[in-house]
A and B are shown apart, each in its own frame.
Chain A
Amino acid sequence: METEQKSIRALKCEQSVLSRADGSVMFSQGNTVVMASVYGPLEAKIQKELSDRMYVEVNYKPKIGMPGVAERGKEKLVKTTCNHIILTNLHPRTAVCITIQEMQDGGTLLSASINAVCLALLDSGLPLQCLVAAVTCLVDKKDKIVLDPCIRTVKEGYKAMFTFAFDSQKYNLILSHCEGQVPYTLFQEAMELCQKASHIIFDFYRQAVLRKFSKELL
């Protein structure tokens, strides 16, 4: 099985783009552009207040139309990931509000959203247990694994598309979302490929933070 594309598309980000938000980022992965903002810790509504932890709220806004059931699905995935990486026990009875705005769909919205949220959380200064990097890969009809597919490859049709997110400490699986069917060997290979690619994203986070602080110090 050959891998057609061994690397992910170009990553670019600009942090602190919004003046009022505690953390914000405009993030692009190839042609996919996503903006994420973090407000927190905020005062939580009484119904949502948790006595021992911070309540994480995620809103995903599509580019066109009202958010529907598909957006709720994405929100749940991002929310449970954030619940794991943010140290929610340090801010009980408060809430954090994370908003993801889709700017341009270049094929891998879920993984771009997760990466953008991680950068926005870094920008906001909220205490994190670890970082998270999400990678999407696609198994096309000829059983070739394409890493980080662009929208043209996605529209051509595929056997399966996987999005995996890994943590920065042991590179274990935090999140998994799949469409389509493959035998276990292909699934395992896709997961290993995505795990290796997540190192590139973690390096990118480090570079982004270095750049941000070197600008501030100058």
Chain B
Amino acid sequence: MDDSLSVGIREEHERSCLERLIDMATDHKTLQPLEFYKTFLDRKSRPDGRSLLEFRKVTVNAGSIGTADGSAIVKCGNTTVICGIKAEIAVPGMDEPAKGFIIPNVTLPPLCSSKIKSGPPGEAAQTATQFIAELVANNIILDLHTLCIHSSKWAWVLHCDLVCINLDGSLLDACVIALITALKNVTLPTVTYDEELDKLICDSDQKRPLEGIKQPVTSTFSLFENGILISDPTSEEEQLAAGLTSITMESTLVTHMYKPGGCTLDEKQVKKLIQQSELKAKEIVRLIEEVCLSSIAER
């Protein structure tokens, strides 16, 4: 009886030691987040168990929004972005009469993160919108000439709304994947322009998908002071980092290296990041193509 009592007391003692250790770790994390994080970095690991250059699991779903002309939902780890595309017809601009329009808009509602407040779009939403708008403007995703119905008369306008419902780092990565998958999912009715009658004839039964959609893929990295590079940071990691960079690759072409200030990079580090982005781009392109094939099969 004495043995079982002492065993019981010892177990009790071990359990309370463990609880005390967990409390200490939580206190350390709250009071000194950077130090807490550095203890993981020193062992080349991260709190969620990933290695330094490992990306989170990406889940893509296409065509889930019935009322939109094209839609996609993307999850990169916990970061979730929904893209919905609505098409309308408008008169092309005077300076570019043979080009259609793709108008992206990234919204970060207050429900996605405790750091976002309600009100007009903040800096994060506006810079994300500008990033996507620049990708679109240089004909990188889609040649805007294919959206023209009749030069200087009618052209398609695609309003792309990207809404983030859960923000946990790597917003740009998720937005770009969502936009491309949604564009591949778009079906537009066939429209012909009758010159004699000056009328547009729209055939809603004959729907065709968009052609020539290229697939650039963005990879975000966090930079720390002593040359440590981390891929696909969570929002905690993004806050602790000394710098951030997002590299967009389309197969082997460097499409955009977005590095808004922050800690410096030398040539070797830039090369390493670009190689990692290329690897990720291959994986994601394969994933998008699988998803699009299965959604076409369902239709």
For B261, the chain A residues whose CB sits under 8 A away are 77-84, 165, 174-175
A175 touches B256 (CB 8 A): no
**Chain B 228-272 interface residues, beta-carbon cutoff 8 Å to A:** 242-243, 245, 250, 252-267, 270-271
For A73, the chain B residues whose CB sits under 8 A away are 126-127, 130-131, 134
For B204, the chain A residues whose CB sits under 8 A away are none
A180 touches B138 (CB 8 A): yes
Nearest chain A CB to B26 CB, angstrom units: 21
Nearest chain B CB to A109 CB, angstrom units: 14
For B250, the chain A residues whose CB sits under 8 A away are 181
B123 at the interface (CB under 8 A from A): yes
Once bound together, how far apart are the Cα atoms of A135 and B30, in whole Å?
Answer: 41
For B116, the chain A residues whose CB sits under 8 A away are none
The contact size tier of chain A is 20 to 34
Of A80, A178, A179, most B-chain CB atoms within 10 Å? A178
Q: Known contacts A76-B260, A80-B261, A173-B264; is A181 also within 8 Å of B134 by CB?
A: no
For B265, the chain A residues whose CB sits under 8 A away are 172-173
A83 touches which of B127, B256, B262 (Cβ 8 Å) = B262
Q: Known contacts A72-B127, A180-B138; is A170 also within 8 Å of B266 by CB?
A: yes
For B266, the chain A residues whose CB sits under 8 A away are 170, 172-173
A63 at the interface (CB under 8 A from B): no
Once bound together, how far apart are the Cα atoms of A54 and B76, in whole Å?
Answer: 33
Please encode chain A, from 64 to 95, with 1 for each CB lying within 8 Å of some chain B CB and 0 for all others: 00000110110111111111100000000000
Residues of A within 8 A of B (CB): 69-70, 72-73, 75-84, 165, 167, 170, 172-184, 187-188, 191-192
The 26 sampled A-B contact pairs (Cβ below 8 Å) are A69-B126, A70-B133, A73-B126, A73-B127, A73-B130, A84-B242, A84-B262, A170-B266, A173-B259, A173-B264, A173-B265, A174-B264, A175-B260, A175-B261, A176-B257, A177-B259, A178-B257, A180-B138, A180-B140, A181-B138, A181-B140, A181-B254, A183-B254, A184-B252, A184-B274, A188-B267
**Nearest 3 CB-CB pairs, A to B?**
A80-B261, A81-B261, A73-B130
